[in-house]
Amino acid sequence: MQALTNRAKQVDRRPMTLLERAYLPAIFKGMSITFGHMFKKAPTISYPEQTRPFSPVFRGLHILNRDEEGRENCTACGLCAVACPAEAITMEAAERKAGEENLYREEKYAAKYEINMLRCIFCGLCEEACPKDAIYLSETFAPANFQRKGFIYGKEDLLIPNPVTEPEAYAKAKGGRVTVK
Amino acid sequence: MLLSIDLPLIIEKLVLIIVVVMSSLVIAMYATFAERKVAAVMQDRIGPNRAGPGGIFQPLADGLKLFFKEEIIPNFSSKFLFILGPSLAMLTAMMTSAVIPWGDTVTLFGREIHLQIADINIGILYVFGVVSMGVYGIMIGSWASNNKFSLMGGLRAASQIISYELAMGIALIALLMVTGTLSLRGMVAGQMDGIWNIIKQPLGFLIFLICVFAECNRTPFDLPEAENELIGGYHTEYSSMKLGFYLFAEYINMFISSAVMVSLFFGGYDIPFLNDGHAVEKIGQNWMAVAHIFMFLFKAFFFVFFFMWVRWTIPRFRYDQLMNLGWKVLIPLALFNMLVTGAVILGLQ
């Protein structure tokens, strides 16, 4: 059979010589290798004091976005819930009342918006489906919890801080996110 | 008739026993920690470093964890044997420490105290006898587990230990011909300020070393407790402190075997390149004894490190390769060593 490359090495099937059968030279060679490894620097990262940097497109926890005036973008259209392959998103819509123009962008908003982090697979399809640029996936992990109900994140857990009232927290939460207009 | 009890002697021996037992336990405890650290640096990672500064309290955390675990005793006939297994293993591990010479003599309170619990004149033979009893601990534990796989592990362990004891004994006969005494104290005294036995008996040392690896169930001979072959081997069914005893007994065995090897072949507490006789006159006997103890422990710790070094380097033997090595390679080699030693001694006379 014709070999595809010329990197194949013929297996050495010669019987062991007396020196090889004594095992000892091979053992000493191995021991010198392990001894050498003792003095090399370990590539271990001491989490949580040190962390590895993530790429800016890393898919982590969800964030519900606001626009520059601090109004919530989400209109509870339900496209993210339909797009989600794990059916992790549920929402209930509500109508915007007269005095709430500074809170919500459009007449319809999400009164209840819940993501079940145990179901979510962090695929990012909700981010791609949203027409209002309202949900995106940030760079943090989902932290651990003792009970299942602690993993159902409501709207308050997901909303980004208001850029008008808390500008520093907003800037920090936005991070290095790349936005596509 | 009145029995005159030599009270100072009893107190002296009791103190020695307590000190030796406590330090063996502490050393074995930190040997578990050292094993993990040594394994880590050889594998390009850092070992446990969270419990206490640099991970110093890790063995305490392990011991506490074992205490808190649930004591499971399987539902079968002999509860007594189940508990006896690890107890025997621990007992024989500690009993061997009685004849090791830790240092020369110390003069305290007007008494000359030998730094050895029992200076019997059959020293090394006693060590052999007790180590042979150690196999009972494993056999009883595996039998009492009521489990096919534990029994297989126990059988392998027993046959391995018995096979390698033979070669060890024959290698020791050659050493006995050279030193002329079985007492460990006598052997060390014969090496003080002289030539260490390793130079007189290099092949004997090699055979003894390989057999000690087999006796302690250390890689490459750790088939009895091979995790990926027999689940846990003879300690599958054990949990909590009984398992702790088995594992601990292994480390104590390791330390004591290193100490025995140092006494037999590496001059015991002899400080190399230093004339101990002259040094005693300079700094006094008690300080010399302290220096001796440090030297002895340093050598023993080097051997414990050597055990760990070999463990994380080579894979383990298959069972038939193991028996092959013990019977067909080591025993003829040991016999050859004995004959050559005898011939050389006769020739030199």
pLDDT tens string A47-58? 878 888 888 888
What confidence score (pLDDT) does residue A141 get? Answer: 79
* DSSP class of B120: -
Sign (positive or negative) of CA dihedral A35, A38, A39, A43: positive
A37 has a chain B CB within 8 A of its CB: yes
C-alpha dihedral (B131, B132, B134, B139), degrees to nearest 10: 160
Q: Yes or no: say if A91 and A126 are a contact pair by the CB < 8 Å rule.
A: no
Separation CA A88–CA A61 (nearest Å): 13
Is B279 within the bounds of a domain?
Answer: yes
Average pLDDT over residues A67-83: 88
CATH architecture of A62-174: 2-Layer Sandwich (3.30)
The first and second tokens of residue A113, run together, are: 């918006």
Helix/strand/coil (H, E, C) string of B223-270? HHHCHHHHCCHHHCCCCHHHHHHHHHHHHHHHHHHHHHHHHHHCCCCC
Distance from CA of A63 to the nearest CA of B (A): 34
Average pLDDT over residues B291-306: 92
* Residue B228 predicted with pLDDT over 60: no
Average pLDDT over residues B228-248: 75
What confidence score (pLDDT) does residue A85 get? Answer: 94
A176 pLDDT band, cuts 50/70/90, is: low
The first and second tokens of residue B336, run together, are: 């050859």
Measured between beta carbons, which residues in chain B are less than 8 angstroms from residue A40? 44
Distance from CA of A45 to the nearest CA of B (A): 9
Q: Yes or no: say if A19 and B22 are a contact pair by the CB < 8 Å rule.
A: no
Peptide bond into B74 cis (omega under 30): no
Short-list A38, A33, A45, A126, CA closest to A86: A126
Is B231 within the bounds of a domain?
Answer: yes
From A27, which residue of chain B is nearest by alpha-carbon distance?
B314
Distances (CA, A) of A98 to A57, A74, B9: 38, 18, 99
* Residue B227 predicted with pLDDT over 60: no
Q: What percent of chain A has pLDDT over 70?
A: 96
Q: What percent of chain B has pLDDT over 90?
A: 26
Separation CA B20–CA B24 (nearest Å): 6
What confidence score (pLDDT) does residue B171 get? Answer: 92
A72 pLDDT band, cuts 50/70/90, is: confident
Task: Please name the residues in contact with A67: beta carbons below 8 A apart, sequence gap of 6 or more.
Answer: A73, A105
A177 pLDDT band, cuts 50/70/90, is: low
Task: Say which of A31, A35, A37 has its CB closest to residue B44.
Answer: A37
List, in sequence order, the alpha helices (H) in B53-119: 58-68, 79-95
Per-residue pLDDT of B210-225, as tens digits, reads 999 988 888 788 877 6
Q: Look at B42 and A34 and tell me if their CB atoms are within 8 Å.
A: yes
Is B52 within the bounds of a domain?
Answer: no
Q: Yes or no: say if B104 and B288 are a contact pair by the CB < 8 Å rule.
A: yes
Most confident range (mean pLDDT) of A33-47, A144-158, B69-83, B299-313 is B299-313
Task: Please name the residues in contact with A168: beta carbons below 8 A apart, sequence gap of 6 or more.
Answer: none
B280 pLDDT band, cuts 50/70/90, is: confident
Structural domains counted in chain B? 1
* DSSP class of B329: I
Measured between beta carbons, which residues in chain A are less than 8 angstroms from residue B42? 34-35, 37-38
Is B63 within the bounds of a domain?
Answer: yes
Q: Yes or no: say if A91 and A112 are a contact pair by the CB < 8 Å rule.
A: yes
Q: Look at B313 and A42 and tell me if their CB atoms are within 8 Å.
A: no
Short-list B140, B8, B3, CA closest to B82: B140
Please give the interface size between A and B, counted as residue pairs whose CB atoms are below 8 Å apart: 32
- Helices and strands: H and E segment counts in chain A: 6, 5
A29 has a chain B CB within 8 A of its CB: no
Q: Look at B313 and A40 and tell me if their CB atoms are within 8 Å.
A: no
Is B1 within the bounds of a domain?
Answer: no
Q: Yes or no: say if B300 and B259 are a contact pair by the CB < 8 Å rule.
A: yes
The first and second tokens of residue A48, run together, are: 């949580």
Residue A122's region, left for phi above 0, alpha for psi from -120 to 50, else beta, is: left
Separation CA A22–CA B82 (nearest Å): 40
For B4, other C-beta atoms within 10 Å of its C-beta total 6
Separation CA B136–CA B156 (nearest Å): 13
Separation CA B270–CA B276 (nearest Å): 8
Q: Residue type at A32?
A: S
Separation CA B172–CA B275 (nearest Å): 28
Per-residue pLDDT of A101-113, as tens digits, reads 788 888 888 888 8
Is B3 within the bounds of a domain?
Answer: no
Interface pTM, i.e. ipTM:
0.78
> Which of A31, A40, A49 should one mutate to test binding to chain B, selecting the residue with the greatest count of B CBs within 10 A?
A31
Separation CA B159–CA B139 (nearest Å): 10
Q: Look at A42 and B42 and tell me if their CB atoms are within 8 Å.
A: no
What confidence score (pLDDT) does residue B183 get? Answer: 87
Q: Look at B44 and A43 and tell me if their CB atoms are within 8 Å.
A: yes
Measured between beta carbons, which residues in chain B are less than 8 angstroms from residue A31? 309-310, 313
Where do the domains of chain A lie? 62-174
Per-residue pLDDT of B131-150, as tens digits, reads 888 888 888 888 888 878 77
B151 pLDDT band, cuts 50/70/90, is: confident
From A48, which residue of chain B is nearest by alpha-carbon distance?
B50
The pTM score is 0.82
The whole domain housing B70 covers 8-47+58-348
B229 pLDDT band, cuts 50/70/90, is: low
Measured between its terminal Cα atoms, the distance across chain A in Å is 56
What φ, ψ does residue B215 adopt, rounded to 5°? Answer: -65, -35
